[in-house]
Amino acid sequence: MSAVQRIRGGIGADEEYWLAIERGEFRISRCRHCKSWMWPANFRCGKCGSWDIDWEPVEPIGTIYTWTRNHAVSEALAERQADLPYVTLLVELPQAGGARVAGVLEGDETALKIGAQVRGRILPPSDKAKGYGSVVWSIESDAA
Amino acid sequence: MTRSMRGSAAIVGIGQTPYYKRGTSPDAEMKLALRAIVSACDDAGIDPRDVDGFVSYGSEHNTGQKLVPGLGTRELRFGALAWTHGGGIPAAVGIAAAAIHAGQADVVAVYRAMAEGSNQRLRVAVTQNDTPAQFLVNGIDMVMQRSAMRSRRMIEVDGVPAETLETIARVSYYHAQNNSGAVGHGRMLTHEQYAGSRFISEPYHLFDCSRENDGAAALILVSADRARDLKQKPAYVLSVPMGAGADGGSREDNHEPYTSVGMIGLAKRMWAESGYGPADVDVAQIYENFTGMAVQSIIDHGFCTAQTAGDFVTFDNLIAPSGSLPINTSGGNIADGFIHGMGSMVEAVRQIRGTSTNQVPGAKLSMMAGGPGDSMTSTGLFGAFETL
Ligand SMILES: [Zn+2]
């Protein structure tokens, strides 16, 4: 188990996701029985009733589903104050059943638009990411 | 026979403290709650000691049991909290009506009180421990940025004109000019001011965002039978569905359809239970944490589609008294004041009574849409006696 104080907002079924990130792996959960991709992670597959969940390695490539450029952040994100303005994304992962993951955009923003292809890079735990490892995304220039 | 509590309960009292600038309330939060409830009881002509049920929503700290000593409650018989945040407002009214319908309580207060001095800032108090790690780790807090991303796709993929966001803000400020208690009173919002204001989270400008206030508001509900004998013209509860669809709930923005704010199924249930449709509504309070979410709420309810939003969501069409659907007639969360949306519920009742500062003449069907985009939300239709 990680020593990081975990954030309590979710249902707490995604611990394996964060542990994988800390190992440098990008994994999304999937029902072992009916093979449905499950995102966000859950304890039970609501589609078939299975309690058996696998964490499958997924290549961190996706498309920008939507985005915003942030010019202000709440107190909860004080660590990001110096980065303003920065762009956050929802990234759609076609190879994982269309799961949408949240992320920060890094690098050139010229080709920023819904549908642009992005590639993720895993970062080690940082204060900025609340002590968690994270995936940051950049636009693939040849695909843009 | 269809089970329904349509028309079985009514809102007979409304009470509200002034909106204080955040952190400047002269009263503690509990005192604000007491003031609003006692004021609503006075309005109804009911002894505060007779309130026997208490319902709120979101992060309300002033629970029913804490209110008992100050109100002199004879017996607390019912208490509940609707889940989620602004999404829980009509739901709280529904819980109150259900309790009355089922004989669990006779006089139920629905209320919300907030004061920074006694509590934490709303933004913190409301969302504390409620934003999943998937967002906080990635520089996204719960409401504003996620709403902005949803509105971005509503505009770029669904084709809803971006100007509709400005329209919501300007309609709210327009209505606030007739409401002397409104935070935005005396300050009309022009196109130039809107367009010139800084971005907060694109596509949201400063004026697309509601502001926090200190204050409290309360409703008193009783059975329809009892309502007839009281002082005020009753606002009957026609339908107040709450919930989330099969592809909704807590899905961390993996819900479908993504740009929906969770009202599509609720609206269908509301029209079915009430027997009315979007074209019948005289006036609507559309909870707007952010303007783009209100636009989508209007679409979800079936007042227009993404394709026709450019024609429907216009300044002329949404202002009282002349528009086909006047909205946020007190100024709404954006320009009246924001005590977690409860002011909009009070305004929905005023429209049925005929006492709004932007009265829609002869309004009989008054709608209040709860917080758009909450993982569970609710909406409500209220009517004058003739609508029963
Ligand atoms: Zn399954």
% of chain A residues with pLDDT over 70: 96
Inter-CA distances, A93 with A65, B48, B126, B304, Å = 9, 56, 31, 32
Predicted local distance difference test score (pLDDT) of residue B211: 80
Q: What is the mean pLDDT of residues A72-88?
A: 94
Predicted local distance difference test score (pLDDT) of residue A8: 85
**What is the pLDDT confidence band of residue B128, given thresholds at 50, 70 and 90?**
low
Predicted local distance difference test score (pLDDT) of residue B361: 98
- Polymer length of chain B: 388
Amino acid at residue number B272: A
Q: How far is the centre of ligand 1, averaged over its atoms, from the C-alpha of B350 (Å)?
A: 50
Nearest CA in chain B to A76: B141
Digit-coded pLDDT (tens) for B252-305: 999 999 999 999 999 999 999 999 999 999 999 999 999 999 999 999 999 999
* Interchain contact, A76 vs B124, CB within 8 Å: yes
Residues from B contacting A (CB-CB < 8 Å) are: 121, 123-124, 127, 129-142, 144-145, 148-150, 152-153, 156-157, 198-203, 250-254, 258
Question: What is the pLDDT of chain A when averaged over all its residues?
Answer: 94
Question: What is the pLDDT of chain B when averaged over all its residues?
Answer: 95
* Interchain contact, B202 vs A69, CB within 8 Å: yes
Spatial CA neighbour of B170 closest among B297, B298, B308, B316: B316
Question: Which one has a higher pLDDT value, A5 or B74?
Answer: B74
ipTM of this complex prediction, to 2 decimal places: 0.96
Digit-coded pLDDT (tens) for B173-211: 999 999 999 999 999 999 999 999 999 999 999 999 988
For residues B200 and A72, is the Cβ–Cβ distance under 8 A?
yes
Enter the tokens of residue B318.
Answer: 């949404």
Predicted local distance difference test score (pLDDT) of residue B123: 53
- Which range (B79-88, B117-126, B172-181) has the least confidence? B117-126
Q: What is the mean pLDDT of residues A12-32?
A: 97
At residue B126, does pLDDT exceed 60?
no
Q: What is the mean pLDDT of residues B368-377?
A: 96
**DSSP summary character for residue B327:** B
Q: How far is the centre of ligand 1, averaged over its atoms, from the C-alpha of A57 (Å)?
A: 18
- The whole-angstrom separation of Cα B116 and Cα B21 is 10
Nearest CA in chain B to A15: B133
Cβ neighbours of B72 (radius 10 Å) = 12
Mutate to test the interface with B, among A90, A93, A105, A112 (most CBs of B within 10 A): A90
Digit-coded pLDDT (tens) for B9-52: 999 999 999 999 988 999 999 999 999 999 999 999 999 999 99
Predicted local distance difference test score (pLDDT) of residue A144: 45
Nearest CA in chain A to B148: A68
A21-A27-A30-A32 Cα dihedral, nearest 10 degrees: -90
* Interchain contact, A134 vs B138, CB within 8 Å: yes
Burial B358-388 (b: 16+ CB within 10 A, else e): bbbeebbbbbbbbbbbbbbbbbbbbbbbebe
* Interchain contact, A76 vs B251, CB within 8 Å: no
- The whole-angstrom separation of Cα B11 and Cα B219 is 7
- The whole-angstrom separation of Cα B249 and Cα A5 is 26
Q: What is the mean pLDDT of residues A64-82?
A: 94
> How many angstroms separate the CA of residue A142 from the nearest CA in chain B?
23
> How many angstroms separate the CA of residue A49 from the nearest CA in chain B?
15
Q: How far is the centre of ligand 1, averaged over its atoms, from the C-alpha of A52 (Å)?
A: 8
Out of B123, B134, B157, closest to residue A74 by CB: B123
Q: How far is the centre of ligand 1, averaged over its atoms, from the C-alpha of A97 (Å)?
A: 13
Q: Which residues surround ligand 1, an ion (CB under 5 A)?
A: A 31, 33-34, 36, 45, 47-48, 50
Q: How far is the centre of ligand 1, averaged over its atoms, from the C-alpha of B146 (Å)?
A: 28
